[in-house]
Amino acid sequence: MRSKAEIISQLTNPGIIAVVRAKSAEQIPPLTEALLAGGVIAVEVTMTTPNAIEAIREASQQFGARALIGVGTVLDALTCRLAIEAGAQFVVSPITRPELAKVAHAADRPVMLGAYTPTEAQLAYEAGADFIKIFPADGLGPNYIKSLRAPLPHLRIVPTGGVDLHNVADFLKAGCAALGVGSSLISQKILLNSDWPELTRLATEFVKAAKSAR
């Protein structure tokens, strides 16, 4: 079993975290396989996915040795605990919920708490967050991250929302630890058509862009 430190290291290299809002739990295995083929190892299965806990359990059993299967959109401690018991290796929330850090750390799992402002980001850090999820980042951009980290360089920031192939390099050069990538990687069209070769192609492009920016 990976330690928290090992998981943190793998989340930041290459630094692309796929945010998965699948239409069904059955899509998670082929979707994960496609992402892995493109070099994306961090797969955040959001709780908005139908039967998300069971999907995490099955994906962890099937891909645990090759992928980091995490849970996203976690809003309460019970969901956090159930997901970790199912095999989730990292926990992500769009909000600052301090109790999630306690549950995750008790299981030696990293946690990413959501924030939007500098005050929220620092409070999330003080609550025990290993990463700060800046969300939604589409209206903020890389310059905001750069300005945020100037007085708060200790924050490991992961912007989510608005990250695409055109700004991967800008976000990473602004000091982000990793990037949460949703619909620009796993589009509704890909999910609707189960177009896994296209997902692999896009995953490859995102990993290439991330490595080039480091």
Enumerate the active-site residues: 44, 133
Here the tokens at position 123 are: 């409070």
- Ramachandran angles phi, psi of 82, nearest 5°: -65, -40
Cα distances (Å, whole numbers) of residue 210 to 66, 90, 147, 180, 198: 20, 21, 21, 12, 18
Which candidate, 121, 110, 129, 113, places its Cα nearest to that of 145?
A: 121
Judge contact between 85 and 108, C-beta under 8 A. no
From residue 175, alpha-carbon distances to 141, 153, 172, 182 in Å are 12, 9, 5, 20
